[in-house]
Every structure is written in structure tokens, then in C-alpha cells.
């Protein structure tokens, strides 16, 4: 069995074992979940060598007939683009489990089972090469989120779970309609064949399918004005779960925009680019402006995520190598930096029992290592040179300027605003007069918390100063996509 198949199977087996574990035995459930997620990460790391060596084709492919009528296959594979989404998911999952280690007391077996099911669904989305299989994994990823929010969320969890479900299912229905319509026009669900066959579909039909996919993926990203589910969902979910929502579930939207909207409907995507880019710029500035006025740390980081993901969408629809490379690079680095911020917010919440910025002050004096880690994550989020986000944002702005200098000018405002809201939040929380409750009880990072946050800090620095290992396979995969868009022989490029 290939490493890719093993990587998919391990979380599923772990989910089933955790599900059968007695609810009183929380220690066993979390140990199984951590072990399964770490094993999945090991299998993911084992794929790097071959994929980096041959990033333009799909490696570790498995193509097994599943349903004869219609013709549906279990067809999976990974290339120089999807590999990094897979590894990001495999990294953040065990870190989220470690962050939850002592906080989940109620039905821990179900909690960790749903975390593993979520990992299984997200991994499947990133590696599926059959559109129907892709949709199945997409739906699988939604189910555990509803339970994780509904059972372990905050007081507003019910409303947030319903809102998340309504938005996501609306997008899912439209996407399913697009997939079925695509099948009726091509008689296949196979993505490697669809890349060529869509060119033969009438223009009006292609536009309908493109819009259906665009709407569904824009909800998942989310892109303004389809973003309103995100702040409530992120704020109401358990913070370790928010790490996965912001770090990897949002990438399902941006990944799919690039893989399917652009890959299958390049002409329509080019025609829609000015409008989508305008919405991306609005997302950048709107998310930043709303983040500035947030009194809650978690909501501030949530709105910052809307702004940063707007950069990713802008890079995709710039339709040049700089923009595409920056978009994919930023997907990875946003997952790392935002994941780190939400984990650190969780550490603060766990100590203080509050997320209100006004309840903090002077934390740096009593918890210097926690403050240092938060500062690195803050600087990474605002795109300080020598940290990963700077590389992604620089490439995106370069690509945007190449496509339209006006886009780059307005997007640059978001970079300035991100420094405003992140540094102002940091100043109020970690400096100034020490709050009485903090002076009395604010321990520094524990060994477990250090093990959770240190890998993300290291990756932020590594991807900021050593870009070659990550960027070269991304650039090669994007080059193949651009050739696919501009050249006639699409299938030859994709296989």
C-alpha cells in the first residue's frame, strides 16, 4: 500500500478505535488520536522525496473502480501543489490534539474521534482526482465540525453550528449540481480527463459550472461577502478546533479555486478575474478594518484570517507565475502563522479564562516565553521579512502589480492595516500595567505547550529564510497549470 493510501487509512482507523473506546477512558482515546495523527504525518513526510523530484505529475496514484454506473473511481494522487496542503493538515492535527490534552473532559473519546474524522475528510479533499470522490470527502469534513462545535463549543455554539451548516451546505449543493452537470457533458468524473474535455463544452454551460464552483469555494475560503459565518464559527468552536478550521479547512476553498475553477474553466476564470480580484481586495481591507475594532482576541485573529485569505485569492486570479506561486506559498504560511496565533490565544484563554483584550495587560513581565512566541507569530502574521508570510505576500503583490497595478496598491493597504491591528493588540495584551488577576496567576509556557508551538515557530522562520525547498515544486506545478491553461494538449500535461 502506498504512503498516500496509508495516510488516508490511519486517521479513519483511529476514528473507529476512538469511537469504540469507553467514554470514561479519556487517556486512551487521546493517546490513540495522537498516535494515529503522528503516524499519518510520518507517511506524509515519506512522500516528499518523489513528489519534489516530479512535482508536475500526480504521484502515488491509486485508481480503483468504485461504482460502475455512473463511472466513479477511488482515484487519488498528490502533486507539487497538493502535497503541501496534505502536510499542513497532517502537521496541525497532532498539534491540535496536544493542545486539547487536558482541556477536554466531557466525552473525550468522541472529541478525538471527530478530530481524526475531520483529518480524514480534509486529506481526502486534497488528494481526490475523481470529482465525485472529492465531493464525498468534502461532505465528510463538514460532519465532525458540526459535532465539535455543537458539543464542545462556547455558549453560542448552537447558533454558530447552524450558521456554519447552512452556509456550507448551500455551497455544497451548488457544487454537487456543478459536478453532476459536468458529468452529463463529459461522461466522466476523472479530473485528469476533465482538464481537456471541458474545452469542448459550450461557453454558456461552462459559465454555469464555473459560477457554481466559484460560489461554493468562495463560501469555504471565505471571500467577501460570503464570509459572515466565519467569525461566529471560529469564536464559538473550541480553540484547538479553530486551529484546524483556520489552518486547513479554509485552504479547501482556496485549493479548490485554483485546482478546479482555474484548472477546469480557465477562460471563464480569466473573464471573471477583475470581479473576483475586486472582491479579494475588499476582503483584504474589510477584514483588516473590522479586526482593528475587535475587543476580543479570538475574533480579531478570525477577521485577520479573512484579510489574509483575500491575498491568496488575489494571487490566484492574477493569472501569472508570481501570483500563483505566492498564493500557494501563502496558503501554507497562513496555515502555520494563523494556527500558531490561535494556539497561543488558547494558552492565554486557558490561563485567564477570558478572551477580552481589556482583561489583559503586562503579560510579558510574568510570562516572557509565552510573550516571545506570541510576538514571533504576530510578526509572522503581518509579513515581517525573514518570516514565511512575507515571501507569500511579496510574490502575490508582485503578481497583482503585473496584472493590474491598482490591485496591488489597494492590497498594500491591507499589509499596513495588518500591522496596525496586530501590534496594537499585542501592545494592549502583553505590555502596560499588569492586571491584578494576571500578576496573581499567569504561568509561562509548559513543556507540552512548548512542544505544540515550537514546530510552527521554526517553520515560520525556515520558510522565511529558505524558500527553495517549498517554492520550487510549487512553481513547477503552477508552471504546468499555466501551460495547461494556455496550451491545447491538456491531458498530456496533467497525467
Rounded distance, CA 167 to CA 145, Å?
13
Query: Chain centroid to CA 11: how far?
Result: 18
Mean pLDDT of 83-96: 93
**What integer pLDDT is reported at residue 278 of this predicted model?**
92
In the chain, domain spans: 3-494
pLDDT of residue 440: 64
The three-class DSSP label of residue 2 is coil
Specify burial of residue 68 (Cβ count, 10 A radius: 0-12, 13-18, 19+).
Answer: exposed
What pLDDT does residue 495 have? 39
The mean predicted confidence, pLDDT, of the chain is: 87
Taking the C-alpha atoms of residue 40 and residue 93, their distance in angstroms, rounded to an integer, is 10
Encode pLDDT of 443-479 as tens digits.
888 899 899 999 999 999 998 888 877 888 888 888 8
Instruction: Return the pLDDT at 487.
Output: 57
Q: Identify the pLDDT of residue 312.
A: 92
What is the per-residue DSSP string for 167-178?
Answer: HHHHHHHHHHHH
Q: Running DSSP on this structure, what letter comes out for residue 1? A: -
Report the pLDDT value the prediction gives residue 488, as an integer from 0 to 100: 42
- Percent of all residues in the chain with a pLDDT value above 90, rounded to a whole number: 37
Q: Could you please report the per-residue DSSP string of 367-423?
A: -HHHHHHHHHHHHHHTT-TTSHHHHHHHHHHHHHHHH-HHHHHHHHHHHHHHHHHHH
Model pLDDT, residue 119: 94
| Cα–Cα separations (whole angstroms), residue 348 to 104, 339, 365, 373, 414 | 17, 14, 14, 12, 27
Q: pLDDT value at position 40?
A: 94
User: Residue 83: pLDDT above 70?
Assistant: yes
pLDDT of residue 89 exceeding 90, the answer is yes
Contact between residue 421 and residue 300 where contact means Cβ atoms under 8 Å apart: yes
DSSP 210-266: HHHHHHHHHHHTT-TTS-THHHHHHHHS-HHHHHHIIIIIHHHHHHHIIIIIIHH-H
How far apart (Å, rounded) are the C-alpha atoms in residues 39 and 11? 9
Q: What's the pLDDT score for residue 34?
A: 92
145: Cβ contacts below 8 Å, ≥ 6 apart:
118, 164, 237, 241, 245, 249
What's 435's DSSP letter?
P
Q: Write the burial class of residue 356 (CB in 10 Å: 0-12 exposed, 13-18 middle, 19+ buried).
A: exposed
- pTM of the model as a whole: 0.91
Tens-digit pLDDT profile for residues 393-421: 999 999 999 888 888 899 999 889 999 99
pLDDT tens per residue, range 330-368: 999 999 999 999 999 988 888 887 888 888 888 888 888
Cα(356)–Cα(299) distance, integer angstroms: 10
255-275 pLDDT per residue, tens: 999 998 888 888 888 888 899
Q: For 368-385, what is each residue's pLDDT tens digit?
A: 899 999 999 999 988 888
CB 334 within 8 A of CB 393: no
- Residue among 221, 315, 216, 229 nearest 273 (CA): 315
Contacts of 416 (CB under 8 A, 6+ apart): none
d(CA 378, CA 421): 10
> What pLDDT does 492 receive?
36
**What pLDDT does 282 receive?**
93
Amino acid at each position: 500500500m502506498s504512503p498516500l493510501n496509508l495516510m488516508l487509512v490511519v486517521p479513519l482507523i483511529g476514528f473507529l478505535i476512538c469511537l469504540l473506546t469507553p467514554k470514561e477512558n479519556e487517556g486512551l482515546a487521546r493517546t490513540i488520536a495522537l498516535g494515529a495523527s503522528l503516524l499519518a504525518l510520518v507517511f506524509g513526510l515519506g512522500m516528499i522525496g518523489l513528489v519534489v523530484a516530479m512535482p508536475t505529475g500526480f504521484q502515488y496514484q491509486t485508481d480503483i473502480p468504485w461504482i460502475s454506473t455512473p463511472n466513479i473511481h477511488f482515484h487519488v494522487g498528490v502533486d507539487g501543489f497538493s502535497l503541501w496542503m496534505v502536510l499542513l493538515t497532517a502537521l496541525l492535527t497532532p498539534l491540535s490534539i496536544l493542545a486539547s490534552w487536558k482541556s477536554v473532559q466531557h466525552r473525550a473519546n468522541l472529541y478525538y474521534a471527530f478530530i481524526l474524522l475531520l483529518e480524514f475528510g480534509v486529506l481526502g479533499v486534497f488528494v481526490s482526482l475523481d470529482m465525485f470522490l472529492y465531493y464525498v470527502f468534502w461532505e465528510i469534513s463538514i460532519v465532525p465540525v458540526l459535532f465539535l462545535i455543537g458539543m464542545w463549543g462556547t455558549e453560542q455554539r448552537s447558533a454558530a453550528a447552524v450558521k456554519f451548516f447552512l452556509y456550507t451546505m448551500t455551497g455544497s449543493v451548488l457544487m454537487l449540481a456543478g459536478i453532476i452537470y459536468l458529468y452529463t457533458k463529459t461522461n466522466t468524473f476523472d479530473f485528469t480527463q476533465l482538464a481537456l474535455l471541458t474545452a469542448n463544452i459550450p461557453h454558456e454551460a461552462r459559465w454555469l459550472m464555473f459560477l457554481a464552483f466559484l460560489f461554493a469555494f468562495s463560501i469555504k475560503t471565505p471571500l467577501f461577502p460570503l464570509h459572515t459565518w466565519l467569525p461566529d464559527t471560529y469564536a464559538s468552536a473550541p480553540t484547538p478546533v479553530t486551529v484546524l478550521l483556520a489552518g486547513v479547512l479554509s485552504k479547501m476553498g482556496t485549493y479548490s479555486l485554483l485546482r478546479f475553477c482555474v484548472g477546469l474553466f480557465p477562460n471563464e476564470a480569466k473573464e471573471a478575474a477583475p470581479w473576483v480580484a475586486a472582491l479579494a481586495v475588499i476582503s483584504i481591507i474589510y477584514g483588516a478594518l473590522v479586526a482593528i475594532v475587535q475587543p476580543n482576541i479570538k475574533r480579531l485573529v478570525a477577521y485577520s484570517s479573512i484579510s489574509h485569505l483575500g491575498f491568496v485569492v488575489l494571487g490566484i486570479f492574477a493569472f501569472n507565475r508570481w501570483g500563483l506561486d505566492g498564493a500557494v506559498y501563502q496558503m501554507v504560511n497562513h496555515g502555520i502563522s494563523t494556527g500558531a496565533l490561535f494556539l497561543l490565544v488558547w494558552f492565554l484563554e486557558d490561563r485567564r479564562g477570558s478572551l477580552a483584550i481589556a482583561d489583559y495587560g503586562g503579560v510579558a513581565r510574568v510570562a516572557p516565553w509565552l510573550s516571545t512566541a506570541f510576538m514571533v507569530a504576530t510578526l509572522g502574521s503581518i509579513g515581517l521579512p525573514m518570516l514565511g508570510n512575507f515571501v507569500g505576500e511579496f510574490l502575490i503583490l508582485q503578481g497583482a502589480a503585473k496584472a493590474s497595478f491598482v490591485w496591488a496598491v489597494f492590497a498594500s493597504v491591507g499589509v499596513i492595516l495588518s500591522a496596525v491591528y496586530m501590534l496594537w493588540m499585542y501592545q494592549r495584551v502583553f505590555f502596560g500595567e499588569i492586571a491584578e488577576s494576571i500578576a496573581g496567576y499567569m504561568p509561562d509556557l509548559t513543556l507540552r505547550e512548548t512542544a505544540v508551538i515550537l514546530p510552527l515557530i521554526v517553520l515560520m522562520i525556515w520558510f522565511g529564510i529558505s524558500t527553495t525547498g517549498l517554492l520550487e515544486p510549487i512553481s513547477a506545478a503552477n508552471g504546468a497549470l499555466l501551460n495547461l491553461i494556455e496550451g491545447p494538449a491538456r491531458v498530456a500535461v496533467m497525467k
